[in-house]
DNA sequence: GATGAATGAGTCTTCATTCAT
DNA sequence: CATGAATGAAGACTCATTCAT
């Protein structure tokens, strides 16, 4: 049982409206490029009222980032150590790709932040994220030792999955411009490609 | 013989100093986040003097982007249609990775721009870049038809190379934070990983 | 029934203070010569607060011009088609002169604008103003045909009235410098002069 | 015999080019609205070179104004005290109108200056101009006493002539917009109108 | 809770003028 | 004579934040 901040229903609703609006604005324009005006009007509130709920623009931003980080790591946690290695990893790839489809704004939010040196989130990266990745890398190493997974640097394997899947959210402007696709179509194609691609790369050589 | 803009030595020097300073500032903070003050002082010039050489902040930015796009595409052009398919592509991967090592600022400049929807460079993406990628995809398809390259969607293969190699420049804050590496070390590791990774994925199945 | 912009008392007061201050500054220095600083301090507001009420310097200027154009044309509309021709026109001359006395700033505002080619008000001149003048010219022509008014080009008659009456507002620096008068005295003199002058010019020749 | 500033031919040519360019720019945009850049490029010189010939922007402006004032008053001086009064004054009206046709830029230059309170030319107005106008007014009074000219305030008669004739240069934007004329056509019409108009106003009543 | 009003600190840009050659 | 280079001062406008109600 945790102590609850006394929050009326309307407060909760408004905080969520602000965070949702901020997600759209920050992911489109980055931290500096976003303005409180944009956020306020997207949230349907007045600017001072936004600052009633959050102390500052930066407070909105960090609240957003830390609130999302958990969700962001869920697919990684869902890897089953007792599962079939290649299937588990392919499943992870697909879940990550699915997130690019369903939560492109979140992906671009992180992308913006990290490209600019992660000034406001580095702590959380160095803490829980690193630990989780290290643990996963250990799991992969074990699978490789057992000969059930091709031998590759496990950390960089994770990076490659992040890179290839988030690419479809973060760089969608470029991807759709080259493919001339509409809506989600490029991600449908990516699904097939990435499944083939990773299966080939990950299947251990037959003895 | 082309008409030369009359450019004195000092003009050339200062224009280059400005573009170099701007590269650093824009890649660190994005277009909106960058200020002329930062650029001017990084270039060792006064703010009005910067505007003596470029009409506006935006003019600096676009001069930078279009000046770099050519260089950015060179590695793709260097693929030899008469070479050994897997080697050619691995060579391309290595060249791209090398660019992440040598020109991380350029990479982040493009990343910033594209993540935010490529508002100032979309034209050039839809034009020359698309054409070059389409041509390369055709080349890959031919190689696949000949059985010299694993059958994979060629466009998405290119995307995966961009994603995995540029990741080490664009998201280096995250990568080095997780790996706890210094300097270039993470790219040294990436080199080994990506070579193995792409070789496995690209080698055609033996008949 | 028109939709009212919700305007609090303080908003109305400040908007009016700004427009009044702007009238003084713009009529003294023209659009380019006027600064927001001057307007703000004349209105007793801070510069950003002025921009809280009007989007830009230009917005203040055009609000001023279009708000005044109606008033500016009232004397012309007040000419009674059923009145005695010479008296009606003399009445118009006197009303215009009265406006130079009471609203010299407004007169100079328009003068500044038109001397510089009317870049921001040409539309309204070509529209409602032209129509009103054309209509009045038609009325004058009818009176001339009836022999109740000396035959003169009616459009240029209107121009002459504008020129001679507004002269006392627009060029008052010159007029008072030559006459060495103080305050309104030159307009008192002008009243007598213009009455005689126009009566002589307008009375039809006796048959 | 006056001391000559040593002026080479090229110096004279450039000074004149600058003054001519400045006349165009200042009359179009007023003192504040004009920029040295516009003047320099209209004169075909570099900005520093313009300032080699004139100490400052203001120096160009005042040189222009005082250089033109003489010419501006010539038509008034040309009134012949021994001529036929009405004809002499009509001749003056026509000469002034002719100046609006031939030198509209000069007219607008003075108009801009005087509308804004004549801050840079008031001295010259209070000096030579006042004296000349007073003298002319005396001449007119004599004619009126002799019964050869309608009795009207002579100073204001001069003002009316300035107002009605310069109107076609200073307010040509408005005039041509209302008349929908091209080029000089409105001045052709004005010639007829003003001749009739002033003849009617000036002819003394038959005894 | 909510908002109209207000502002200080920037941020880009302009421009007359100066400097050095 | 002429010009490329440089700049201080100003000016329009933005924006996160605060104040008062």
Same structural domain for residues B40 and B121? no
| Half-sphere exposure of residue C125: CA atoms within 13 angstroms, side-chain side | 21
Same structural domain for residues A50 and A140? no
The A 42-81 residues near strand F by Cβ under 7 Å are 47-48, 51, 56-58
pLDDT value of residue D3: 41
D137 in contact with C, Cβ within 8 Å: no
Same structural domain for residues C40 and C75? no
CB atoms within 10 A of CB C167: 25
**How far is residue D188's CA from residue D184's CA, in Å, rounded to a whole number?**
7
**Length C166 CA → E16 C1' (Å):** 35
D154 domain residue, yes or no: yes
Quick one: average pLDDT of A23-44? 96
Same structural domain for residues A37 and A68? no
Report the protein residue whose CA lies nearest the C1' of nucleotide E5. C49
Same structural domain for residues C83 and C12? no
DSSP labels, A44-105: TS-HHHHHHHSSSHHHHHHHHHHHHHHHHHHHHHT--TTS-HHHHHHHHHHHHHHHHHH-HH
Decide if pLDDT at A140 tops 70: yes
State the smallest CA–CA distance between residue B82 and chain A in angstroms: 24
Same structural domain for residues D51 and D65? no
pLDDT value of residue A70: 87
Same structural domain for residues A31 and A72? no
Does D164 contact C162 at a Cβ distance shorter than 8 Å?
A: no
Number of structural domains (chain D) is: 2
pLDDT value of residue C65: 94
D150 in contact with C, Cβ within 8 Å: yes
pLDDT tens-digit map of A1-32: 344 455 688 888 999 999 999 999 999 999 99
**How far is residue B176's CA from residue C151's CA, in Å, rounded to a whole number?**
93
Among B113-127, C45-59, C175-189, D42-56, the minimum mean pLDDT is found in: B113-127
Split at pLDDT 50, 70, 90, the class of B34 is: very high
Enumerate the nucleotides of strand F whose atoms come under 7 Å of any protein CB.
1-20
**How far is residue B16's CA from residue B67's CA, in Å, rounded to a whole number?**
11
CATH number of the CATH domain containing A41: 1.10.10.60
Same structural domain for residues A70 and A166? yes
C207 domain residue, yes or no: no
Q: Is the CB of B180 under 7 A from strand F?
A: no
Split at pLDDT 50, 70, 90, the class of B207 is: low
**Length A39 CA → E5 C1' (Å):** 20
Same structural domain for residues B146 and B188? yes
The mean of the pLDDT values for chain D is: 93
D114 domain residue, yes or no: yes
Which residues are within 8 A (CB) of D109 and not within 5 positions of it... i.e. 6 or more apart?
D23, D26, D27, D64, D65, D68
| D196: chain C residues, CB-CB within 8 Å | 151-152
B77 in contact with A, Cβ within 8 Å: no
Q: Is the CB of A36 under 7 A from strand F?
A: yes
Same structural domain for residues D16 and D90? no
Whether this model's pTM surpasses 0.85: yes
Decide if pLDDT at D170 tops 50: yes
Split at pLDDT 50, 70, 90, the class of B1 is: very low
C141 in contact with D, Cβ within 8 Å: no
User: To the nearest whole percent, how much of chain B has pLDDT over 90?
Assistant: 86
pLDDT value of residue C206: 74
Among A106-115, B21-30, C25-34, D63-72, the minimum mean pLDDT is found in: D63-72
Decide if pLDDT at C17 tops 80: yes
pLDDT value of residue D6: 56
| D192: chain C residues, CB-CB within 8 Å | 153
A29 in contact with B, Cβ within 8 Å: yes
Compute and round to an integer the Cα radius of gyration of chain B: 20
Same structural domain for residues C18 and C107? no
Q: Is the CB of A43 under 7 A from strand E?
A: no
**Length D176 CA → E20 C1' (Å):** 51
Decide if pLDDT at B3 tops 60: no
Inter-chain CB pairs, C–D, below 8 Å: 172
Enumerate the nucleotides of strand E whose atoms come under 7 Å of any protein CB.
1-20
Which residues are within 8 A (CB) of B122 and not within 5 positions of it... i.e. 6 or more apart?
A173, A177
C131: closest chain D residue by CA: D178
Cα–Cα separations (whole angstroms), residue A10 to A14, A15, A39, A53, B100: 6, 9, 18, 11, 48
Which residues are within 8 A (CB) of D110 and not within 5 positions of it... i.e. 6 or more apart?
D65, D68, D72, D121
Decide if pLDDT at C145 tops 90: yes
D2 domain residue, yes or no: no
Long-range residue pairs from B146-150, CB within 8 A, at least 24 positions apart, any chain? B147/B204, B147/B207, B148/B84, B148/B85, B148/B86, B148/B204, B149/B85, B149/B86, B149/B89, B149/B202, B149/B204, B150/A200, B150/B201, B150/B202, B150/B203, B150/B204, B150/B205
**How far is residue B156's CA from residue A163's CA, in Å, rounded to a whole number?**
13
In three-state secondary structure terms, B62 is helix
| A133: chain B residues, CB-CB within 8 Å | 178
A195 domain residue, yes or no: yes
Burial of A5 (0-12, 13-18, 19+ CB in 10 A): exposed
Q: Nearest nt (C1') to D51 (CA)?
A: E17
pLDDT tens-digit map of D20-32: 999 999 999 999 9
pLDDT tens-digit map of B116-150: 999 999 888 888 899 999 999 999 999 999 999 99
Same structural domain for residues B44 and B144? no
pLDDT tens-digit map of B183-204: 999 999 999 999 999 999 999 9
In three-state secondary structure terms, A149 is coil
**How far is residue C112's CA from residue C29's CA, in Å, rounded to a whole number?**
8
Decide if pLDDT at A131 tops 50: yes
Split at pLDDT 50, 70, 90, the class of D128 is: confident
Among B88-102, C116-130, C145-159, the minimum mean pLDDT is found in: C116-130
pLDDT value of residue D206: 74
CATH number of the CATH domain containing B82: 1.10.357.10
**How far is residue C159's CA from residue D163's CA, in Å, rounded to a whole number?**
10
**How far is residue D98's CA from residue D188's CA, in Å, rounded to a whole number?**
10
Q: Nearest nt (C1') to D49 (CA)?
A: F2
pLDDT value of residue B84: 97
Q: Is the CB of B52 under 7 A from strand F?
A: yes
Q: Is the CB of B55 under 7 A from strand E?
A: yes
Which structural domain range is residue A178 located in?
61-202
The mean of the pLDDT values for chain C is: 94
For residue B163, give the nearest of A112, A150, A167 by CB distance.
A167
A132 in contact with B, Cβ within 8 Å: no
Going by C-alpha positions, the residue among B200, C83, B35, D143 that lies closest to residue A151 is B200
B46 in contact with A, Cβ within 8 Å: no
Quick one: average pLDDT of B101-116? 96
The C 34-63 residues near strand F by Cβ under 7 Å are 34-37, 47-48, 51, 55-58
Q: Is the CB of C193 under 7 A from strand E?
A: no
For residue A29, give the nearest of B116, B125, B153 by CB distance.
B116
D116: closest chain C residue by CA: C28
pLDDT value of residue C207: 61
pLDDT value of residue A1: 37
A207 domain residue, yes or no: no
Q: Is the CB of D49 under 7 A from strand F?
A: yes
**Length D53 CA → F6 C1' (Å):** 21
The mean of the pLDDT values for chain A is: 93
**Length D18 CA → E14 C1' (Å):** 22
C32: closest chain D residue by CA: D33
Q: Nearest nt (C1') to A55 (CA)?
A: F17
Which residues are within 8 A (CB) of B142 and not within 5 positions of it... i.e. 6 or more apart?
none
**Length B16 CA → F7 C1' (Å):** 20
Q: Does D contact C via 3+ CB–CB distances below 8 Å?
A: yes
A134 domain residue, yes or no: yes
C162 in contact with D, Cβ within 8 Å: yes
Q: Is the CB of C52 under 7 A from strand E?
A: yes
C109 domain residue, yes or no: yes
User: To the nearest whole percent, how much of chain C has pLDDT over 70?
Assistant: 96
Instruction: Quote the DSSP letter at residue C2.
Output: -
C167 in contact with D, Cβ within 8 Å: yes
Which residues are within 8 A (CB) of A51 and not within 5 positions of it... i.e. 6 or more apart?
A36
């Amino acid at each position: 049982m945790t102590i609850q901040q006394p929050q009326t229903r309307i407060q909760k609703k408004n905080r969520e409206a602000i965070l949702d609006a901020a997600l759209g604005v920050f992911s489109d324009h980055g931290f500096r490029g976003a303005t409180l005006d944009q956020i306020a009007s997207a949230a349907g509130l007045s600017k001072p009222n936004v600052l009633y709920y959050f102390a500052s623009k930066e407070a909105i931003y960090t609240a957003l980032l830390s609130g999302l980080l958990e969700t962001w790591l869920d697919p990684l946690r869902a890897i089953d150590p007792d599962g079939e290695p290649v299937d588990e990893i392919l499943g992870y790839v697909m879940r990550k790709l699915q997130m690019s489809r369903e939560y492109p704004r979140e992906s671009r939010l992180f992308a913006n932040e990290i490209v600019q040196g992660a000034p406001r989130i580095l702590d959380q990266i160095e803490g829980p994220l690193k630990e989780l990745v290290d643990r996963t890398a250990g799991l992969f190493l074990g699978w490789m030792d057992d000969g059930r997974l091709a031998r590759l640097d496990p950390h960089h394997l994770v990076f490659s999955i992040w890179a290839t899947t988030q690419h479809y959210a973060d760089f969608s402007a470029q991807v759709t411009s080259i493919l001339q696709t509409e809506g989600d179509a490029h991600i449908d194609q990516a699904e097939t490609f990435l499944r083939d691609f990773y299966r080939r790369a990950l299947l251990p050589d037959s003895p």
